[in-house]
Amino acid sequence: MEIRSIVEKIKGLDSGLMEKAQVRLDNLTKPKGSLGRLEELAKQIVGIKGNSSPKIEKKFIITMAGDHGVTDEKISAYPREVTYQMVYNFLRGGAAINVLARHVGARVIVVDVGVAYDIEDAIGGSNYSYFISKKIDYGTKNMAKGPAMTYEQATSSIEAGISIVEELVSEGCDIIGTGDMGIGNTTASSAIISVICNVDPSIVTGYGTGLDEKGLARKVEVIKRAISVNKPDRNDAIDVLAKVGGYEIGGIAGVILGAAANRIPVVIDGFISGAAALIAYSIAPHSKNFMIASHCSVERGHKVVLNWLGLKPLLDFDMRLGEGTGATLGISIVEASVKILNEMATFGEAGVSEKETPNLIQ
């Protein structure tokens, strides 16, 4: 589906039902507001789904994978081969995302949107129903020397993410978490955030997978060079994605847009997903209403993203793995909030006396 048509479907939250949800929350057997963010989440889910008694049962993590040509500049502590090796680990169920997804009852969908390896051919006849190939190219080009991809490829990466959500809608998807895999993608994400938020790369660039101080300085220099060479237009998010982004980042942005258009809550993972959220928000500002920030990454630029979007993370666990690990934990909290709304008794239902109102002496 074209980006323009999907953006036209993104509307606001159902404020009427949210008001009704607030009334019920205020009448549950507890002091008003005493469950804090859980109450806020429950009300947001009601507004997203347009349902006063929403369910969170069919849970999906969409982990997008892609490689980055900028790794030629030695900006990562790990070699490019780790991307496809980790994809295999996902498919075998041995990664952190698999463990946490099993824990919360979510299904992981692994998507090759730009891995520099023929994964689909390598797995052959193996029945990996949770692997989808949307490969646009074998990794991006080196953004330090020119555009990471063409404008058309950037558009295609976003549309790939949208198409996956459209497929999941037919399965009755209740909630989506975003995830990523791609050696070099913290460099691309830092560049995107630097451009869109109009801040110096040194402010939003971190150590990634374990660089030392010298490596960090080189990474910042490479990002500055990429921005100087490509001159991305911060008012055109697709241009920014094309000049200094990654296929998996575009794919995640598409997932966010697709979820918003179909009124599905989307739980955003960490730093990479944050950069993708900036892309999605720049294309369709109303998409922010459907986003839930799962956690605050250790990567320093993530706070810049969250502040820019006005999102408050649910967790702060010093995590920086990606894959969708933070989003998975976030989904469990969203599910808990909805159960509070649906399953907790009101004062009237439980026969519990409410707070006394003091008599006012005239």
DSSP 295-355: B--SSTHHHHHHHHHT---SB-------TTHHHHHHHHHHHHHHHHHHHSPBHHHHTPPPP
Please identify which of the residues 323, 335, 343, 356 carries the catalytic annotation. Answer: 323
DSSP 72-87: GG---SS-TTHHHHHH
Query: Among all chains, which residue has been given the structure tokens 């490596």?
Result: 215
Element (H, E) at 114: strand 106-114
Asked if residues 97 and 325 have their Cβ atoms less than 8 Å apart, the reply is yes
Asked if residues 179 and 46 have their Cβ atoms less than 8 Å apart, the reply is no
Euclidean distance between the first and the last CA atom of the chain, given in angstroms as a whole number: 66
Among left, alpha and beta (phi > 0; psi -120 to 50; other), residue 172 is left
d(CA 281, CA 288): 6
d(CA 40, CA 7): 26
323 a catalytic residue: yes
Q: At residue 59, what is the residue type? A: K
Annotated catalytic residues are: 323
